[in-house]
């Protein structure tokens, strides 16, 4: 259980944010300058906030009201920095073991071999840190933080310095920390794709304040947050599971609450939970059940909310059997079709992006990247 409440002034910027988490991965999401890094630096004890109350599992780390400030080195908050920050004068093994030296022996936690295996870094152990690739550096940095037996792991955009393919290389490892080691994580990011894939709880920060907080799918389905999250990447998350495989056409059928989605074959056992992200720009709206259409995926739903003001583009939230789906369309279409809250419509989905977090640990090779399937 993590509880964070921080107020801190830095010039004209004021950070005034609070959130709580029951474990899993909390994503702090927002644009640059929203106060994400300041918030985790307060948690890690890197600076003293003006006013704050920060506690992990009942242990108070910062409480300005009573003058408690546990120094960073006694907090046992592991920190994975954006640029790795491996010690250049030590090799990989020495970097990994650095924190273990100082960690209380009774703290338990993961052992060396387990971490090495989980992050697949055994072949790097005797290397110098300067000879590692960006992705390897970040994996070592994660291992180093883990081996210090942290109560909590904070990660500051650990993938931002990497290119697209390297990101795909690291994501499964972060999922394994969350699902296999069950380390509580606070993860800072400005990437919708990362957050959609990783976060259990989503905290949206804007100008130092919490704009929204809640389970990831719920927060992602809110229309009023798009100016903050970025319109192009706006999208909703549906919880699905593998219902059947269509071997004749090489398709896998996913069951969502409101219907079925067909995607190219996935080598997964039936019943596997799968989180899919459907971007607003990939959703079309039809008033009647469409026929003579190549797209395979059509979900029925009800218009719940239309937002966007007077601009040419509006965002629309559909209620699909209790789950939110977001569509992005022109204001002209809204008028032509006469779309209004309460109307029954059909969402035609052009492309499905799915997240393999539920089984990333089991099959490392397959889960190399955020997969996306386009059809039509």
Partner 1 sequence: MPLAPRWSLSSGCALRGPGGGGDDRRYLMPLSFSPEELTAIKLSLRVGFWAMLGSLPVAVAVAMLLARGRFWGRSLLNAVVYLPLVMPPVVTGYILLILFGRHGVLGAALADYLGIVFAFRWTGAALAASVMGFPLMVRSMRLSIDAVDRRLEDAAATLGASRFWIWLTVTLPLILPGIIAGMILSFARALGEFGATITFVSNIPGETQTLPTAIYTFLQVPGGEAGAFRLTLVSVAISVTALFASEAIAQRAVRRAAGL
Question: Which residues contact partner 1 (rule: CB under 8 A)?
Answer: 44-46, 71-79, 81, 83, 85-89, 98-99, 101-103, 128-131, 144-145, 148
Q: How far is the CB of 55 from partner 1 (least distance, A)?
A: 18
Q: How far is the CB of 120 from partner 1 (least distance, A)?
A: 21
Q: How far is the CB of 71 from partner 1 (least distance, A)?
A: 8
Q: Return the number of the residue (59 or 131) whose C-beta is nearest partner 1.
A: 131
Q: From the CA atom positions of the chain, what is the Rg in Å?
A: 22
Place of tokens 């039809």: 286
Q: Return the number of the residue (144 or 262) whose C-beta is nearest partner 1.
A: 144
Partners of residue 307 on adjacent β-strands: 315
Q: Return the number of the residue (86 or 339) whose C-beta is nearest partner 1.
A: 86
Partners of residue 4 on adjacent β-strands: 19, 54
Q: Which pair of tokens denotes residue 131?
A: 């000879």
CA–CA distances in Å: residue 181 to residues 109, 119, 196, 332, 363: 9, 12, 20, 50, 16
Q: How far is the CB of 157 from partner 1 (least distance, A)?
A: 14
Provide the b/e sequence for 244-277 (b: ≥16 CB within 10 Å).
Answer: ebeeeeebbbbbbebbebbbeebebeeebebbbb
Of the candidates 331, 214, 327, which has an alpha carbon nearest to the alpha carbon of residue 279?
327
Of the candidates 296, 306, 363, which has an alpha carbon nearest to the alpha carbon of residue 339?
306
Q: Return the number of the residue (144 or 281) whose C-beta is nearest partner 1.
A: 144
Q: Return the number of the residue (65 or 130) whose C-beta is nearest partner 1.
A: 130
Render 110-146 in DSSP notation, one character per residue: --HHHHHHHHT-GGGTTSBGGGS-HHHHHHHHHHHHH
Q: Return the number of the residue (131 or 165) whose C-beta is nearest partner 1.
A: 131
Q: How far is the CB of 160 from partner 1 (least distance, A)?
A: 15
Q: How far is the CB of 129 from partner 1 (least distance, A)?
A: 5
């Amino acid at each position: 259980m993590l509880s964070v409440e921080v107020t801190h002034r830095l010039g004209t910027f004021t950070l005034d944010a609070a959130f709580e988490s029951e474990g899993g991965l909390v994503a702090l999401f927002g644009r640059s300058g929203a106060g994400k890094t300041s918030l985790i630096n307060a948690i890690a004890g890197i600076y003293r906030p003006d006013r704050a109350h920060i506690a992990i599992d009942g242990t108070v780390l910062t409480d300005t009201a009573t003058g408690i400030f546990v120094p960073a080195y006694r907090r046992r908050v592991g920190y994975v920095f954006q640029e790795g920050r491996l010690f250049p004068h030590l090799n990989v093994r020495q970097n990994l073991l650095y924190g273990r030296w100082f960690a209380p022996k009774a703290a338990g936690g993961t052992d060396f071999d387990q971490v090495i295996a989980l992050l697949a870094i055994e072949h790097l152990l005797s290397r110098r840190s300067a000879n590692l690739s960006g992705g390897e550096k970040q994996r070592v940095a994660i291992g180093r933080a883990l081996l210090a037996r942290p109560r909590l792991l904070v990660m500051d955009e650990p993938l931002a310095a990497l290119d697209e393919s390297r990101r795909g290389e690291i994501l499964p490892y972060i999922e394994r920390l969350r699902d296999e080691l069950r380390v509580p994580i606070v993860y800072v990011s400005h990437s919708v794709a990362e957050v959609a894939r990783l976060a259990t709880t989503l905290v949206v920060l804007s100008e130092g304040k919490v704009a929204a907080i809640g389970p990831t799918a719920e927060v992602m389905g809110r229309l009023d947050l798009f100016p903050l999250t970025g319109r192009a990447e706006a999208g909703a998350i549906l919880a699905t599971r593998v219902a059947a495989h269509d071997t004749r056409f090489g398709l896998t059928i996913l069951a969502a609450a409101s219907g079925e989605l067909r995607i190219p074959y996935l080598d997964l056992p039936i019943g596997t939970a799968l989180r899919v992200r459907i971007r607003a720009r990939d959703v079309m709206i039809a008033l009647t059940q469409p026929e003579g259409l190549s797209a395979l995926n059509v979900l029925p739903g009800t218009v719940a909310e239309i937002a966007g003001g007077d601009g040419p583009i509006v965002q629309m939230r559909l209620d699909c059997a209790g789950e939110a789906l977001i569509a992005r369309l022109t204001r002209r279409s809204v008028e032509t079709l006469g779309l209004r809250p309460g109307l029954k419509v059909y969402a035609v989905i052009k492309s499905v992006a799915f997240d393999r977090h539920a089984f990333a640990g089991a099959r490392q090779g397959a889960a190399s990247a955020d997969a996306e399937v386009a059809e039509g």
